[in-house]
A and B are shown apart, each in its own frame.
Chain A
Amino acid sequence: MSQMRWALSDYQTIVQQELTHLVRQPSLIAWQLGSPIVMVLLFVFVFGSAMDIGGGADFTSFAMPGMFAMTMAFGFMNTAMSVAIYKEKGFIDRFRSMPMAPSAVVTGRGVSDLIHAALDLVVLALIALAIGWRSDGGLAATLFAFGLLLWLRFALIWIGVWIGLKVKNQEAAGNLFALAFPFGMISSVFTPPSLMPDWLGAIAMWNPVSSTANAVRELFGNPVPLGGSWIEQNAMLMAVTWPALITLVFLPLAVRKYQSLGR
C-alpha cells in the first residue's frame, strides 16, 4: 500500500472514531451549543429591545451572523480540550508507538472538528430561522458565507491543537474560556465597534472574528455596522485573509509541537 493510501486509511479510522462519539453522545452538541444559544436568547430577547445598532436595523438579523462567527471562534476550545484529553489518556503515545501515519492524529482531529462545526452551524441556523433571521443573499452567497465561517473554524483548529498539546491536562484546557470569551466578544459580534470607546473599537475591528461576522452579514444581506475604516471596508478580503494567516502561523507551530513530543 502506498504511503498516501496508508495515511488516508488512518484519517478515516480516526474520523470514524470521532463521529461515533457524536452519534453516541448527541448531548455533546447540545452542551457545546448551550452557551451560544443562551447568549442568543439573552441578547435578542432580554437586551434586544434596548440594543440600537444605528440606522434602524433589526437587531436579530444583525446578531445572528455574529453568533455564528462567535460559535466558530469558541470552537478552538473544543479542539484544545479534545487534544488535551487525547494526550492525557495516553492515546497520543499509543498512536505514536503504532505504525500509523504521523499526521493522522492531528489531521483526523481537524476533519472531525470541521464536521462537528458544520453540524453546529446547521443547528444554530435552524434556531436563527425560528426566531426570525433570514438570508436574502441567494443560495450561492449563503453557502459561501457558511464556507467562510468554516474557514475561520479551520484556521482555529491549529491554535486549538497547539494549545491542546501545550497544556498540562484537560483542566488547564478548560480554563481557556477566560481567553476565548473576550476573543469572541470584543468584536462586532453583538455590537458595532463604532459604538465602543475608540481604543476598544479598534481592537474589536481588527479581531478576525469581526471580519468574518461582517463578511457573512454582507453575504446574507443582513445589516452591517460599517465604520469608514479600511479593515471594516474590506471585511470580505479579510475574512479570507485572517484565517489564512492564522493557519500559516499556527499549523507549523502545531506540527512542530507534535514532533517535539519525542524530545
Chain B
Amino acid sequence: MDYSIYAEGLRKRYGDKVALDGLDLAVAPGTVLGLLGPNGAGKTTSVRILATLLRFDSGTARVAGLDVRSNARQVRQRIGLTGQSMAVDDVLTARENLVMFGKLFHIGKSAARQRADELLAQFGLTDVAGKPPQTFSGGMRRRLDLAASMILAPQVLFLDEPTTGLDPRGRMEVWDAVRSLTAQGTTVLLTTHYLDEADQLSDRIVVIDHGRAIADDTPAGVKRAIGGDRVEVVALRPDDVDAIASVVARVGEPVVEELRVHAAVTDRVGSLTTVARDLQEKGLDVEDIGVRRPTLDEAFLKLTEKVTV
C-alpha cells in the first residue's frame, strides 16, 4: 500500500539526548493516526521531522509519497501544520489572516480571498471574519489556526496537541472541526497526551515512549491492552467489602484492594447502572461509585511492562 505518511527507523538525537530511537510509522491515506505519549516521548520531534522543519540523523521519512529530506519543497505544497502554539496574527482580522497565508501559498490574490471565505464558513467563523483573533475564545483561535493550515486543502495534516490548554467546549469544537476534515479525506497525524482524544479521533493509535513505538493498534486494541474501563466501588465499612464484591462480580471479575472493589467492564453505563441498582436493593451504603478510565500514566506503566517482560 502507498502510505500517506511513512517513517522507518527514524533516529534523532540532540547532543546526548536521544529524542527518536528508531520510530516506525505508517498512515494509510484518508485515515487519522493518533500519536499518544507523555511529554518528552518524541511526539513533537516526529511531527517537526515529517513537516520538514527538522533534520533527522537516520532512517526514512516519506510524506505524500515524497522523501521529506530530498523533496522538502514539494512536501510543503502538500502538508498543513498546526503547531502547539496558535500561529495566527492577533492584529489582523480572521479573514486577513487567511488571505495572508493564502498569498504566502501563492494561490493568487482573488483565489486567496475566495479560499479565506470558504474556510471561514467551513470552520464556523464567518460571523467573526472581520474581528482580530485576540478577541476569540481558545477554541475559535484554534479553528482559525486549523483553517490557516487548510488553505491548499493539503493531503496530509499535522496536528500537534491541538487541544492542549483548551476548555472542554473548545476541545469539542476542535474535535468537530477535525472530524469534518477527515470526512473530506485528509490524512491526519495527531499528537496528544489525552487517551480519550486519541480514542475519539483516530483510526489507529501509536503509543510512543522514549522515542520508540511501544504499541500500534486500533483504539479498541490499545484500550484492551491497557485494561480499559473499570467500575470501581469504595466501601464505607470494611465489613461490606465481601458483599460489594459479590455485586460487582455480576459485571466483571472483581479485584479487592482494601476498601476498593473494581472490575474491568466493556459497557460503561450498563454495568454502572447494574451495580448501583443492586447495591441499593441490598441496602449497601458506599463511599463512592464510578467508572474509571485508566490514566495515561497507568496505561504507560502497563504497556512498558509488556515491552520489558
Is B104 touching A13 in the complex (CB atoms < 8 A)? yes
The A-contacting residues of B in range 73-110, CB under 8 angstroms, are 73, 76-77, 79-81, 83-87, 89, 91-92, 96, 100-101, 103-106
A93 within 8 A of B: yes
Partner of B100, one of A13, A96, A263: A13
Q: What is A's interface to B at a CB cutoff of 8 Å?
A: 1, 6, 9-10, 13, 16-17, 20-21, 24-25, 88-91, 93-100, 261-263
Instruction: Tell me the minimal C-beta distance from B259 to chain A in angstroms.
Output: 47
Is B86 touching A89 in the complex (CB atoms < 8 A)? yes
Assess A262 versus B54: contact at CB under 8 Å? Given A17-B92, A20-B96, A90-B85: yes
Is A94 touching B83 in the complex (CB atoms < 8 A)? yes
Is B84 touching A98 in the complex (CB atoms < 8 A)? no
The A-contacting residues of B in range 38-61, CB under 8 angstroms, are 48, 51-55
Contacts beyond the supplied A10-B104, A20-B96, A99-B106: 7 A-B pairs with Cβ under 8 Å? A90-B83, A91-B87, A91-B89, A93-B81, A93-B83, A98-B76, A98-B104
Residues of chain A lying within 8 A (CB to CB) of residue B73 = 99
Q: How far is the CA of A244 from the CA of B77 in the complex (A)?
A: 37
Please classify the interface of chain A as helix (H, G, I), strand (E, B), loop, or mixed, using the class held by over half of its residues.
helix
Is B91 touching A90 in the complex (CB atoms < 8 A)? no
Residues of chain A lying within 8 A (CB to CB) of residue B89 = 17, 91
B233 within 8 A of A: no
19 sampled A-B residue pairs with Cβ under 8 A: A9-B103, A9-B106, A10-B104, A16-B100, A21-B91, A24-B91, A90-B84, A90-B85, A90-B86, A91-B89, A93-B48, A94-B87, A95-B104, A97-B51, A97-B76, A97-B80, A99-B73, A99-B105, A100-B104
B5 within 8 A of A: no
Residues of chain B lying within 8 A (CB to CB) of residue A97 = 51-53, 76, 79-81
Is B106 touching A6 in the complex (CB atoms < 8 A)? yes
Is B106 touching A263 in the complex (CB atoms < 8 A)? no
Is B85 touching A96 in the complex (CB atoms < 8 A)? no
**Among A1, A6, A93, residue most surrounded by chain B Cβ atoms (within 10 Å):** A93
Instruction: Tell me the minimal C-beta distance from A85 to chain B in angstroms.
Output: 10
B148 within 8 A of A: yes
Assess A99 versus B76: contact at CB under 8 Å? Given A17-B92, A262-B54: yes
Chain A's closest residue to B81 (CB) is A97
Residues of chain A lying within 8 A (CB to CB) of residue B80 = 97
Chain B's closest residue to A25 (CB) is B91
Q: How far is the CA of A13 from the CA of B191 in the complex (A)?
A: 31
**Chain B 250-277, CB within 8 Å of chain A: the 1/0 string?**
0000000000000000000000000000
Is A98 touching B91 in the complex (CB atoms < 8 A)? no
Residues of chain A lying within 8 A (CB to CB) of residue B148 = 94
Residues of chain B lying within 8 A (CB to CB) of residue A100 = 104
**Among A25, A89, A94, A100, residue most surrounded by chain B Cβ atoms (within 10 Å):** A94
Q: How far is the CA of A197 from the CA of B77 in the complex (A)?
A: 61
Chain B's closest residue to A91 (CB) is B87
Is B52 touching A20 in the complex (CB atoms < 8 A)? no
Is B87 touching A13 in the complex (CB atoms < 8 A)? no
Partner of A263, one of B55, B96, B149: B55
Residues of chain A lying within 8 A (CB to CB) of residue B149 = 94
Chain A's closest residue to B52 (CB) is A97
Q: How far is the CA of A13 from the CA of B104 in the complex (A)?
A: 7
Chain A's closest residue to B83 (CB) is A90
Instruction: Tell me the minimal C-beta distance from B183 to chain A in angstroms.
Output: 24
Assess A93 versus B53: contact at CB under 8 Å? Given A17-B89, A17-B100, A98-B76: yes
Q: How far is the CA of A1 from the CA of B79 in the complex (A)?
A: 21
Is B87 touching A89 in the complex (CB atoms < 8 A)? yes
Residues of chain B lying within 8 A (CB to CB) of residue A263 = 54-55
Residues of chain A lying within 8 A (CB to CB) of residue B53 = 93, 96-97, 261-262
Residues of chain B lying within 8 A (CB to CB) of residue A95 = 104
Q: How far is the CA of A93 from the CA of B79 in the complex (A)?
A: 13
Residues of chain A lying within 8 A (CB to CB) of residue B52 = 96-97
Assess A262 versus B84: contact at CB under 8 Å? Given A13-B103, A17-B89: no
Q: How far is the CA of A181 from the CA of B99 in the complex (A)?
A: 39
Q: How far is the CA of A95 from the CA of B73 in the complex (A)?
A: 12
Chain A's closest residue to B12 (CB) is A263
Q: How far is the CA of A254 from the CA of B131 in the complex (A)?
A: 35
Instruction: Tell me the minimal C-beta distance from B36 to chain A in angstroms.
Output: 22
Residues of chain A lying within 8 A (CB to CB) of residue B81 = 93-94, 97
Q: How far is the CA of A141 from the CA of B182 in the complex (A)?
A: 63
**Among B53, B73, B86, residue most surrounded by chain A Cβ atoms (within 10 Å):** B53
Residues of chain B lying within 8 A (CB to CB) of residue A99 = 73, 76-77, 105-106
